[in-house]
Amino acid sequence: MLLNRIVGYNDVPTIPSNGIQAFLDERNKTMNDLAPLVSNSSMKYGNKTGDVTSSLKYYAMAQCTPDLTSDDCNQCLSNGISQLQTRIGTWVLLPSCNVRFDLTVMNETATTIHEGKRKNTAKVIIAIVIPVVVISAVILALGICYKIKKSKKYNTLHARSASQDFAMIESLQYDVATLQLATNNFSDENKVGEGGFGGVYKGIMPDGQEIAVKRLSKGSYQGEEEFKNEVLLVAKLQHRNLVRLLGFCLNWRGDDSSVRIRCQ
């Protein structure tokens, strides 16, 4: 069985004689407060620093072997604390625990290294996070700008296309008088056929061009915009088997207001 051992003393710096009792009281209080904290910790280790005077600092340390229960650890530490000498610094080493109270911080270098590592780690994290955030923000901004630009371009093209379509529609429109003259006022002699949506008439334009005119009846139930869209679609179709669309006419006079006239 290992015997209790006192393995070190420290008498420098000295404390004035009138301050020794205050020093011992502070030491005992600190160690007694530290013992239960260490006993209940998972690592069975703890340390604490504080001020003895305005110019002196103390270092307190307590440790148990990890296999001890909280009660056994606390009992071992209490035994070690009771054996601390009336010295400036003492370290008591027992078989299952050890305690130390000194004015010299033993792990100052280790603490400095640990803090240095934490600072370096923080710097590395900052160095990684900031560029990632900046790059992500730039990519997001570029994406938004691209989407806005694309939307504006689409709207411009759509408006331009609609304007061009409207111009095409206007250029294809004939007045009813011209068609009446070409078809002899849609006489039966000029009628060449009858479909579900109205009759088809042959005619000759003033320049001598032969045309066929399809006159839509009231029963077609087709609105003006629908009719114009249909005319625009047919006008854009180019095929050798399709009769080329020359134009159209909207007649809104009298009871014949629902009649639509196309010529091709």
Helix (H/G/I), strand (E/B), else coil: 1? coil
**What is the rounded distance in angstroms from the CA atom of residue 84 to the CA atom of residue 59?**
14
Structure-block tokens of residue 254: 């009298």
Q: Specify the pTM.
A: 0.38
Beta strands in the chain (DSSP E): 5-10, 45-51, 57-64, 89-93, 97-102, 191-195, 198-204, 210-216, 247-250, 260-263
Tens-binned pLDDT, residue by residue, of the chain (264 aa): 345 565 666 655 566 677 778 778 888 899 999 999 999 999 999 999 887 767 778 889 999 999 999 999 999 999 988 888 777 778 888 889 999 988 764 444 444 444 555 666 777 788 788 888 888 888 988 888 888 888 777 666 655 665 566 566 677 778 888 888 888 888 888 888 887 667 888 888 888 888 888 887 666 555 666 767 777 777 777 656 666 777 777 765 444 433 455 555
Q: Are 61 and 99 in contact (CB under 8 A)?
A: yes
Amino acid at 244: R
State the pLDDT at residue 258: 39
Is 191 annotated as belonging to a binding site? no
The order of strands in the sheet holding 97-102 is: 5-10, 89-93, 97-102, 57-64, 45-51
Q: Are 58 and 49 in contact (CB under 8 A)?
A: yes
66-73 contacts: CB < 8 A, separation 24 or more? Answer: 68/44, 68/96, 68/97, 70/39, 70/40, 71/39, 72/96, 73/38, 73/39, 73/44, 73/97
